[in-house]
């Protein structure tokens, strides 16, 4: 028996096997829009689109669900991407002047939890190339690559450089054809003297292959000269002596003319007629937004169409003075002219058009614009050029994400209604075009269940996303701003006028895209969300203390929203709220579209940000907490059941509100982000790395090092009057035993920042009526919910309470409301004693109920120095055994690692590194699903999806039909670490074993292990004998009998109570 007690965990091979079948860590897919995109490419043959980012990632998208990710070794910005059409290969040009060749290969079969998984296609880098510097020339800028051109034959890559030379690389071997190199001198020789005037031609700005005659390329130099170069004959066929600084070139399909765009905001059409060596003037030259000075047209496309006039698409060219700060792309055909006005910078764009050589016209069907913050697709076939909703790459951050909530296995009925409501929202802008980028085949099995991800945003909206598969698709958007009077109400009805104005306005702007980072009123921000998927009730709570209960309705409705005010200060003297005002509710009935419609608005006073919310739909109760206290509201009877102030008398910070000192850090962070954003927007086309800037950089780094003052940390136990100690961190409803061991009933639990836990016994009419009768029928007549303070627990270490959950007699978490009563889950064990799991930032602890005596604990911080940030109870299913599953406690720490514990034993199982510890917002944004997956923000616009379960994974699994054979190549050996698209990730390292070795096997073991030789173990012993397990101060308000006469420990408690600390 003793042997059993002392046997350390992790040595049991049986258990190790089970652990391997249950747990496995994988980062599976990234949802949302890539952060800081910097390059775009399209493969018309395979119908695949590639996006490169500033962190060196390449992401390929095809049909929804088809996704490939590659990450360069260096986190250097990808400046250009070029597909080798049909081959499943692509070339990327990085900011460090290197070319990389990537290939789609069949991935290795991966072993997960003992079972082999079918490997899909993945993206792999196969080769890279750096252009050698020219001998004798010191500066590397001469061979800095500016443009790449891949010939249609796919065997030659032309490279234009800063120095004006054009180099040729053989593909796919990436070998320089030395003798082919075309230096600027060769071109200058053939120039007329008056054009030459001794100046250099400048960098190569554009390279374009002749659409009809292979082997001829158009070379455009910055100074304005355009040369039609014959590769075979190695001489200039024609010279176009442009005088305006060149930005880009594009051929017309027939090759009879080309268009050049310039930095003065104009474009010129040049005819190409053979036999004419010099062309001095273009056929036509236009400055579309002139006559006042305009900004450059960065890129221009000219697409012919069957209907007659060509479609002209160009970015930029706006009048410098009046609209120089706009990010615009113009579409022009005949008289039709639209200036698409985006909220973020245009990175690149392309059209999807007819590429078959035997067709006479381009007939563009869609325009794809990559912006800094979103992807916009315009349907060019439907009159009016409407926007096409994207099935993926949705800008999650259209307004900053403030919170998220996940719901697993959504009932089909709710799912259908949500989709309908979402469809109704989008009906205005309906196009019938299907998604044009549809390459590849999604092999991932159809998700067994529907999953919803809800994101709350700064502008008061809640977005519903389909998170069932690889592509995160928007379903439905809920706005809460219309519950209140806001400044933006007024211009609402003037939308018709705006249309009128737009017609007269020049340029003809049209707002496109949904990225809008600036919130009208920060108080509208959503802080907490809770949804009951069975009763379709939703609770959202916001920054100004507003808690809104919504119900789903398929019909539009005009109604006013009931409002209740709950004063959480409870007449505490001496507090004045210095923060923001509450939002002014709209008193008149307002129209609400189909979907979730607000029913009740509960306003907390003071209107501080809501920090916790809980919903129990069976009891019709919501609980909400702020930095001042918590309240309980019966939304069925519309009355406040309870308001409890948790404020410490000395806490002055709590009254200042989120917009003052507390949030000042966040505010300043936001400001600096905006500054970065701004500087990015105004960034140059190409950053030039001059030696001087490098010196400056080094100097700055040095200065920074000197400035760093040694950081000090104070070592002091937490005290009761620390600031913001009253913040309510978590709330939880449970049907459990609080009064005594035989009668269970509704309870409410609340935990605060200072380690206090309050437990209330609730009297809900119609619930647990048997017990009510037993108690003498006193409450039979009562028709409203009552709350009675049952217990107050003060955790001795006073660390913030992160989560509270009640475990049933088998040690399993209690099911959600309606799950048990409707036979949707196994009924909880109400025959054996329940326990409550309280997770603080420092410790995990299980207490028995109803006596609240400590059963087990795990002191995470004392051992690891990390703090608990997020906690969830998760059901893990075995990958090997069909019917085996286990509940585990998942715990994310401030160091970004995941710890898994058994419940209720709290034995550590596995630890995985997940998020970089510097990524505070990533750690703060993490949400877990109920079956072992999770999401966290890797950038403001992207969720990383990860899985801790060996069985349940949502990852891209897809195939692509290529021109070349796609065999499992030998190049694909070595450890297949899943590439991380965001280059800043930490490599994931599973540490399934070893970790558990060092943790004490049983903290409550009365006989400590005492290897006398080791100094460490003896100190471990001191850890365990502090007797802290019993020191928690538990005050019981329901037990009246003093059963503890001669027990000295209880004597101490009595005296502690008499010391005069509170009680109602």
Partner 1 sequence: NHKPRRSSQNSFGGFKEFYQILQTIHHIHGDDVLLEYADVHGDLLPINNDENFHKAVSLANPVLRIIITKKGERGESTAYCTNSLQRRRKGLGLPGLRPAGSSTTLSKNKSGIMIGPPQDFRQISSIIDVDILPETHRRVRLHKNGSNKPLGFYIRDGVSVRVTPQGVEKVPGVFISRLVRSGIAESTGLLAVNDEILEVNGIDVAGKSLDQVTAMMVANSHNLIVTVKPVNQRNNIAPRGSKNSMGHSGSVGSGGSIGSALSHDSPSPASQSNPITASLKLPGSSSTIKQLETSLTLEKKKLNLDKSFFFLK
**Binding stretches for partner 1 (CB under 8 A):** 710-718, 796-797, 799, 842-843, 859, 861-867, 894-895, 1010, 1012, 1015-1023, 1025-1026, 1028, 1048, 1051-1052, 1054-1056, 1058-1059
840 within 8 A of 799, measured Cβ to Cβ: yes
Whole-number minimum distance, CB 679 to partner 1, in Å? Answer: 30
**How far apart are the C-alpha atoms of 365 and 666, rounded to whole Å?**
44
Cβ partners under 8 Å of residue 770, min gap 6: none
**How far apart are the C-alpha atoms of 115 and 109, rounded to whole Å?**
10
Cβ partners under 8 Å of residue 662, min gap 6: 653, 656, 724
Whole-number minimum distance, CB 6 to partner 1, in Å? Answer: 17
Minimum CB distance to partner 1 smaller for 500 or for 1051: 1051
Nearest to residue 738, comparing CAs of 658, 576, 900, 850? 850
**How far apart are the C-alpha atoms of 749 and 804, rounded to whole Å?**
7
Whole-number minimum distance, CB 603 to partner 1, in Å? Answer: 37
| DSSP symbols for 578-640 | -SPPPPEEP-S-EEE-SEEEEEEEEEEES-PPP-EEEEETTTTEEEEE-SSEEEEEETTTTEE
Whole-number minimum distance, CB 800 to partner 1, in Å? Answer: 12
Whole-number minimum distance, CB 910 to partner 1, in Å? Answer: 20
**How far apart are the C-alpha atoms of 835 and 814, rounded to whole Å?**
11
Minimum CB distance to partner 1 smaller for 831 or for 1046: 1046
Minimum CB distance to partner 1 smaller for 417 or for 798: 798
Whole-number minimum distance, CB 667 to partner 1, in Å? Answer: 23
Minimum CB distance to partner 1 smaller for 500 or for 1018: 1018
**How far apart are the C-alpha atoms of 293 and 863, rounded to whole Å?**
66
**How far apart are the C-alpha atoms of 396 and 30, rounded to whole Å?**
12
| DSSP symbols for 80-149 | EEEEETTTTEEEEEETTSEEEEEEEEEPPPEEETTEEE---EEEEEEEEEEPPPPTT---GGGG-EEEEE
Minimum CB distance to partner 1 smaller for 831 or for 1022: 1022
Report which secondary-structure segment, H or E, holds 605: strand 595-605
Ramachandran angles phi, psi of 807, nearest 5°: -110, 145
Minimum CB distance to partner 1 smaller for 498 or for 1010: 1010
Q: Can you name the residues that pair with 898 across neighbouring β-strands?
A: 892, 912
Whole-number minimum distance, CB 772 to partner 1, in Å? Answer: 34
Whole-number minimum distance, CB 1054 to partner 1, in Å? Answer: 7
| DSSP symbols for 976-1011 | -PPP-SSTTPPPP-EE-SSHHHHS-S-TT-SS----
Minimum CB distance to partner 1 smaller for 562 or for 722: 722
| DSSP symbols for 312-337 | EEEEE--BHHHHTT-EEEEEEETTEE
Nearest to residue 287, comparing CAs of 310, 312, 262? 262
Minimum CB distance to partner 1 smaller for 691 or for 1027: 1027
Minimum CB distance to partner 1 smaller for 395 or for 755: 755
Minimum CB distance to partner 1 smaller for 178 or for 1042: 1042
The two tokens of residue 204 are: 């190569």
**How far apart are the C-alpha atoms of 29 and 470, rounded to whole Å?**
7
Whole-number minimum distance, CB 1061 to partner 1, in Å? Answer: 11
Minimum CB distance to partner 1 smaller for 496 or for 1022: 1022
Minimum CB distance to partner 1 smaller for 532 or for 868: 868
Report which secondary-structure segment, H or E, holds 364: none
Whole-number minimum distance, CB 375 to partner 1, in Å? Answer: 39
Whole-number minimum distance, CB 1009 to partner 1, in Å? Answer: 12
Looking at 878-969, which runs of residues are DSSP E strands? 885-893, 897-902, 908-913, 927-928, 933-939, 942-949, 958-959
- Looking up tokens 């992807």 gives 375
Minimum CB distance to partner 1 smaller for 30 or for 1032: 1032
How far CA 993 is from CA of 10, 781, 889, 975, in Å, comes to: 7, 59, 18, 19
Ramachandran angles phi, psi of 21, nearest 5°: -80, -20
DSSP structural state of residue 444: S
718 within 8 A of 756, measured Cβ to Cβ: no
Whole-number minimum distance, CB 894 to partner 1, in Å? Answer: 8
Minimum CB distance to partner 1 smaller for 692 or for 1022: 1022
Whole-number minimum distance, CB 832 to partner 1, in Å? Answer: 32
First to last CA, the chain: 47
Minimum CB distance to partner 1 smaller for 504 or for 1055: 1055
**How far apart are the C-alpha atoms of 1034 and 793, rounded to whole Å?**
4
Minimum CB distance to partner 1 smaller for 2 or for 1012: 1012
**How far apart are the C-alpha atoms of 527 and 611, rounded to whole Å?**
7
**How far apart are the C-alpha atoms of 930 and 947, rounded to whole Å?**
11
Whole-number minimum distance, CB 1014 to partner 1, in Å? Answer: 9
**How far apart are the C-alpha atoms of 74 and 467, rounded to whole Å?**
31
206 within 8 A of 229, measured Cβ to Cβ: no
**How far apart are the C-alpha atoms of 611 and 528, rounded to whole Å?**
7
Nearest to residue 921, comparing CAs of 35, 17, 25? 35
- Please count the residues of the chain: 1064
Whole-number minimum distance, CB 648 to partner 1, in Å? Answer: 18
The two tokens of residue 573 are: 């003297």
Whole-number minimum distance, CB 663 to partner 1, in Å? Answer: 22
Minimum CB distance to partner 1 smaller for 639 or for 1047: 1047
Whole-number minimum distance, CB 665 to partner 1, in Å? Answer: 16
91 within 8 A of 84, measured Cβ to Cβ: yes
Whole-number minimum distance, CB 17 to partner 1, in Å? Answer: 30
Minimum CB distance to partner 1 smaller for 53 or for 794: 794
């Amino acid at each position: 028996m003793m042997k059993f007690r002392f046997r350390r965990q992790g040595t049991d091979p049986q258990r190790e096997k089970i652990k391997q079948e249950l747990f496995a860590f994988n980062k599976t897919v990234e949802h949302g829009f890539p952060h800081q995109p910097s390059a775009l490419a399209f493969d018309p043959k395979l119908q695949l689109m590639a996006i490169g980012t500033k962190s060196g990632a390449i992401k390929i998208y095809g049909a929804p669900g088809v996704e490939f990710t590659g990450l360069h070794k260096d986190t250097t910005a990808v400046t250009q991407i070029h597909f080798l059409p049909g081959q499943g290969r692509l070339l990327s040009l990085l900011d460090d002047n290197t070319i990389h060749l990537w290939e789609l290969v069949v991935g290795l079969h991966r072993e997960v939890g003992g079972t082999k998984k079918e490997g899909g296609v993945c993206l792999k880098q196969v080769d890279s190339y750096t252009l050698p510097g020219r001998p004798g020339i010191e500066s590397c800028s001469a061979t800095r690559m500016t443009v790449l051109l891949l010939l249609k034959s796919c065997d030659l890559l032309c490279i234009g450089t800063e120095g004006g030379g054009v180099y040729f690389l053989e593909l796919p071997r990436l070998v320089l054809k030395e003798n082919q190199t075309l230096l600027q001198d060769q071109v200058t020789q053939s120039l007329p003297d008056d054009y030459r005037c001794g100046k250099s031609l400048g960098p190569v700005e554009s390279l374009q292959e002749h659409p009809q005659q292979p082997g001829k390329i158009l070379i455009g130099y910055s100074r304005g000269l355009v040369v039609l170069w014959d590769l075979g004959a190695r001489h200039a066929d024609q010279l176009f002596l442009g005088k305006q600084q060149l930005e880009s070139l594009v051929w017309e399909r027939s090759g009879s003319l080309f268009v050049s765009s310039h930095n003065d905001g104009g474009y010129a059409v040049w005819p190409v007629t053979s036999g004419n060596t010099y062309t001095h003037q273009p056929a036509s030259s236009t400055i579309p937004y002139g006559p006042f000075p305009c900004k450059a047209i960065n890129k221009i496309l000219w697409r012919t169409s069957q209907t007659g006039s060509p479609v002209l698409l160009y970015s930029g060219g706006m009048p410098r003075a009046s609209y120089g700060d706009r990010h615009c792309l113009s579409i022009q055909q005949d008289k039709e002219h639209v200036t698409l006005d985006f909220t973020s910078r245009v990175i690149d764009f392309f059209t999807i058009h007819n590429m078959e050589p035997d067709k006479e016209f381009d007939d563009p069907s869609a325009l794809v614009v990559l912006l800094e913050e979103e992807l916009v697709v315009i349907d060019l076939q439907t009159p009016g050029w409407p926007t096409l909703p994207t099935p993926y790459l949705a800008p999650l951050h259209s307004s900053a994400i403030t919170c998220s909530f996940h719901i697993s296995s959504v009932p089909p009925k709710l799912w259908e209604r949500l989709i309908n409501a979402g469809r109704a929202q989008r009906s205005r802008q309906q196009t019938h075009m299907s998604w044009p980028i549809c390459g590849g085949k999604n092999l991932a099995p159809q998700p067994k269940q529907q999953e919803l991800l809800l994101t709350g945003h700064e502008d008061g909206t809640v977005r519903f996303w389909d998170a069932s598969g690889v592509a995160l698709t928007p379903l439905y958007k809920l706005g809460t701003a219309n519950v209140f009077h806001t400044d933006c109400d007024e211009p609402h009805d003037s939308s018709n006028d705006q249309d009128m104005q737009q017609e007269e306005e020049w340029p003809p702007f049209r707002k496109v895209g949904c990225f809008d980072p600036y919130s009208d009123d920060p108080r509208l921000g959503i802080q907490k969300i809770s949804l009951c998927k069975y009763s379709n009730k939703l609770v959202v709570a916001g920054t100004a203390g507003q808690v809104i209960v919504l119900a789903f309705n398929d019909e539009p409705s005009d109604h006013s929203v009931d409002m209740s005010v709950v004063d959480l200060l409870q007449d505490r003297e001496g507090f004045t709220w210095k923060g923001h005002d509450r939002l002014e509710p709209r008193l008149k009935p307002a129209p609400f579209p189909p979907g979730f419609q607000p029913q009740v608005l509960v306003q907390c006073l003071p209107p501080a940000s809501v920090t916790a919310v809980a919903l129990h739909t069976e009891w019709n109760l919501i609980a909400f907490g702020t930095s001042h206290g918590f309240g309980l509201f019966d939304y069925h009877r519309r009355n406040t059941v309870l308001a409890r102030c948790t404020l410490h008398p000395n806490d002055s910070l709590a009254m200042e509100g989120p917009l003052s000192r507390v949030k000042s850090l966040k505010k300043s962070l936001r400001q600096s982000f905006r500054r970065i954003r701004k500087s990015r927007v105004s960034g140059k086309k190409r950053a030039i790395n001059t030696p001087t800037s490098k010196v400056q950089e080094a100097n700055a780094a040095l200065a920074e090092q000197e400035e760093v003052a040694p950081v000090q940390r104070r070592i002091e136990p937490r005290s009761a009057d620390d600031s913001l100690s009253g913040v309510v961190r978590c709330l939880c409803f449970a049907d459990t035993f609080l009064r005594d061991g035989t009668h269970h009933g509704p309870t409410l639990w609340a935990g605060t920042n200072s380690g206090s836990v309050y437990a209330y016994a609730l009297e809900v009419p119609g619930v647990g009526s048997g017990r009510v009768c037993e108690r003498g029928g006193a409450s039979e007549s009562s028709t409203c919910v009552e709350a009675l303070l049952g217990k107050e627990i003060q955790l001795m270490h006073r660390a913030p309470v992160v989560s509270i959950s009640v475990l049933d007699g088998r040690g399993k978490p209690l099911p959600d409301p309606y799950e048990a009563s409707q036979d949707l889950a196994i009924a909880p064990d109400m025959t054996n004693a329940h326990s409550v799991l309280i997770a603080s930032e420092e410790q995990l602890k299980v207490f028995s109920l109803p006596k609240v005596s400590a059963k087990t604990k795990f002191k995470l911080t004392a051992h690891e120095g990390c703090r608990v940030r997020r906690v969830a109870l998760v059901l893990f299913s075995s990958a090997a055994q069909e019917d085996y599953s286990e509940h585990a406690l998942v715990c994310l720490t401030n160091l970004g690692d995941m710890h898994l514990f058994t419940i209720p034993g709290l034995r550590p199982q596995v630890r995985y590194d997940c998020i970089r510890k510097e990524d505070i917002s990533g750690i703060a944004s993490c949400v877990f699903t109920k079956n072992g997956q999770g999401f966290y923000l890797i950038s403001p616009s992207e969720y990383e999806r990860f899985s801790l379960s060996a069985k349940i994974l949502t990852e891209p699994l897809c195939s692509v039909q290529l021109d070349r054979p796609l065999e499992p190549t030998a190049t694909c050996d070595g450890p297949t670490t899943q590439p991380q698209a965001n280059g800043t990730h930490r490599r994931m390292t599973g540490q399934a074993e070893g970790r558990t070795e060092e943790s004490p096997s049983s903290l409550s073991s009365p006989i400590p292990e005492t290897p006398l030789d080791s100094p460490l173990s003896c100190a471990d012993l001191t850890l365990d004998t502090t007797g802290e397990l019993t020191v928690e101060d538990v005050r019981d308000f329901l037990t009246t009998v003093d059963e503890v006469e001669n027990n000295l420990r209880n004597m101490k408690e009595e005296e502690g109570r008499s010391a005069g600390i509170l009680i109602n």
